[in-house]
Amino acid sequence: MNILERCKSAIIDSNIFTNIQYIGITGSVGRGEKDIDDKDINDIDFVVIANSCNLSKKTTLDRKLQEITGKKFTDILYLNQKKFIKKISSNSIEQYLFDFIMGNKKIYSLIDIDKYKKIKFKVSRISAIDVLMTRLWALICPFYFYDGIILP
């Protein structure tokens, strides 16, 4: 059984989620920039769309996924199915949903996520600014600040 199949089984067998409709990966692996077994990535971002979730057991599942993938970190984004459909049907969506729709790798699916790629969404301004601010650290980290001056 390959890594993706083992991850799918771990998520389904965890019994954390009820009525799972979708399991996928976002981020660099979801966009196809990296493979799940690449050595130069340290985290994998999973997405699960389901009816409900027992978050108290999430840490145990994270550890299992870290063991399977060999990665230091895993993140599991839970999306409630009804709320997901409601949000995706609106005129304006949040940046994380746009990123998920445009760049995801399907592991298990009972719903067609790809059909949403054809829709032109407006990403809410507040959400886009939040994403920009949270991702700026990746651009700034390689530099040092000394007395108001940026040094490489």
What's the pLDDT score for residue 119?
78
What's the pLDDT score for residue 147?
55
122/92 Cα distance (integer angstroms): 5
Q: What are 107's two structure tokens?
A: 């592991």
Please give the average pLDDT of every successive group of 10 residues along the chain, which has 152 residues.
93 95 91 87 91 90 94 90 86 76 90 82 68 57 52 52
What's the pLDDT score for residue 146?
53
| Side chain identity at residue 1, one-letter code | M
**Largest Cα–Cα distance in the chain?**
55
The model carries a pTM of 0.79
